[in-house]
């Protein structure tokens, strides 16, 4: 059975009822035995102070609370591990990386001496450093004349970052012009089976592509689209018979058509506000933590305190009678001769 909040609640409630029943039986047996030796334990009247009638109830409730809190906390940790192992995470980051030959031109960065690919690596590292990995899965695809899935749903940030490390993936593609729009449509097919509104699509490219035509809408799994442009946009470099530079007009137009955002990341990073959907709490996580986990910690502390204090209170305040041994007087020795 998969561990969910509902099953945890049932297990904890069952443990509490079982502990309460066993403790109640123990208190009943203890009360019977105490009644037989009441005069020895509580003095001539054979009765303890009135407040002690609440101690059996307090111990039953404390044992029930102890069992409930321990099962809740243990099961909560198992729930977290199960979520970490689960194939379908609540958040996805899909990286669509431009691997065309133009990405190896040196006109990026503040000095203009970095390759576009190395600048893309710096942008990608900045994003990965600001995204928590406990509930986010990372996927990556490279595109040139077509899109190819490189990594599908992993938690290894270094593996994703390695894809932008300068490997010439373009030599494995059919030569031609970069078709960003076609690759966006193919990337949509990669993401169509993921959970609804769970995915942020990050496109890192210089925008050097054929004219866009025939763009399809993104699948329902995509909730956010971010275009990060790299390379100098003011001047270009000749490659393959044409002047290549960051095509800000093409990238910003595609971002608007996909209801996303475009950022010129040649010298700046993607703002943190654009990553809010990735960094948002998992749905229901906050409510679960405050309503169950924190409550279990409080109940555990209170129940443990009650079980520790009750014996001390009974010992020193349970009865006003105290046994005082009377020493028998020994006769004095006779002084007669």
Domain identity same for 65 and 125: no
Domain identity same for 76 and 140: no
Instruction: Give domain status of residue 324, yes or no.
Output: no
Domain identity same for 32 and 116: no
Domain identity same for 109 and 252: yes
Q: Which of 261, 279, 297 is the last residue of a domain?
A: 279
Which of 110-119, 187-196, 207-216 is the least confident region? 207-216
Q: Which residues of 216-252 are buried (b: 16+ CB within 10 A; e: fewer)?
A: eebbebbbbbbbbbbbbbeebeeeeeeebbbbbebbb
Residue with the bigger pLDDT between 78 and 220: it is: 220
Instruction: Give domain status of residue 77, yes or no.
Output: yes
DSSP letter for 118, please.
Answer: H
Of 264, 235, 259, 268, the residue nearest 248 (C-alpha)? 264
Mean pLDDT for 134-155 is: 89
Domain identity same for 136 and 265: yes
Domain identity same for 137 and 167: yes
The 10 Å Cβ neighbour count of residue 171 is: 10
Q: Domain with 139 in it: what CATH number? A: 3.40.50.410
Mean pLDDT for 314-326 is: 71
pTM of the model: 0.60
The pLDDT, as a whole number, for residue 337 is 54
Domain identity same for 55 and 143: no
Q: Which of 6-15, 250-259, 287-296 has the highest mean pLDDT?
A: 250-259
Instruction: Give domain status of residue 47, yes or no.
Output: yes
The percentage of the chain sitting over the pLDDT mark of 70, rounded to a whole number, equals 81
Which of 36-45, 212-221, 270-279, 283-292 is the least confident region? 283-292
Domain identity same for 207 and 173: yes
The pLDDT, as a whole number, for residue 62 is 93
Domain identity same for 111 and 59: no
The pLDDT, as a whole number, for residue 278 is 80
Instruction: Give domain status of residue 298, yes or no.
Output: yes
Instruction: Give domain status of residue 64, yes or no.
Output: yes
Residue 32: exposure state from Cβ atoms within 10 A (0-12, 13-18, ≥19): exposed
Instruction: Give domain status of residue 159, yes or no.
Output: yes
Domain identity same for 291 and 255: no
Place of tokens 């105490």: 34
Residue with the bigger pLDDT between 110 and 148: it is: 148
Domain identity same for 110 and 74: no
Which of 58-72, 269-283, 295-309 is the least confident region? 269-283
Instruction: Give domain status of residue 210, yes or no.
Output: yes
Instruction: Give domain status of residue 200, yes or no.
Output: yes
* Structural domain of 120: 91-279
The pLDDT, as a whole number, for residue 205 is 92
Domain identity same for 120 and 250: yes
- How many domains, the chain? 2
CA distance 55 to 61: 10
Which of 51-55, 188-192, 261-265, 300-304 is the least confident region? 51-55
């Amino acid at each position: 059975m998969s561990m969910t909040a509902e099953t945890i609640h049932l297990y904890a409630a069952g443990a509490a009822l079982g502990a309460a029943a066993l403790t109640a039986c123990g208190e009943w047996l203890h009360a019977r035995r105490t009644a037989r030796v009441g005069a020895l334990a509580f003095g001539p009247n054979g009765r303890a102070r009135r407040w002690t009638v609440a101690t059996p109830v307090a111990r039953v409730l404390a044992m029930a609370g102890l069992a409930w809190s321990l099962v809740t906390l243990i099961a909560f940790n198992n729930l977290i591990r199960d979520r970490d192992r689960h194939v379908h995470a609540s958040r996805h980051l899909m990286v669509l990386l431009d691997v065309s030959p133009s990405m190896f031109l040196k006109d990026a960065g503040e000095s203009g001496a970095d390759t576009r690919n190395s600048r893309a690596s710096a942008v990608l590292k900045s994003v990965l450093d600001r995204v928590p990995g406990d509930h986010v899965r990372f996927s990556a695809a490279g595109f040139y004349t077509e899109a190819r899935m490189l990594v599908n749903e992993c938690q290894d940030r270094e593996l994703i970052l390695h894809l932008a490390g300068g490997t010439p993936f373009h030599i494995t593609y059919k030569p031609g012009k970069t078709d960003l729009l076609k690759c966006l449509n193919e990337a949509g097919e990669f993401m169509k089976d993921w959970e609804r509104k769970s995915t942020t699509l990050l496109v890192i490219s210089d925008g050097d592509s054929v004219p866009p035509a025939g763009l399809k809408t993104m699948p329902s799994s995509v909730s956010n689209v971010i275009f990060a442009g790299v390379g100098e946009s003011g001047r270009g470099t000749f490659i393959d018979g044409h002047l290549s530079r960051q095509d800000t007009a093409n990238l910003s137009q595609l971002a608007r058509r996909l209801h996303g955002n475009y950022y010129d990341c040649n010298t700046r990073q993607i703002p943190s506000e654009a990553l809010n959907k990735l960094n948002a709490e998992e749905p229901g996580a906050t409510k679960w933590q405050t309503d169950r986990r924190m409550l279990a910690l409080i109940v555990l502390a209170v129940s443990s305190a009650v079980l520790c204090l009750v014996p001390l209170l009974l010992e020193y305040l349970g009865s006003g009678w105290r046994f005082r041994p009377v020493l028998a007087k020994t006769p004095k020795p006779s002084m007669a001769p």
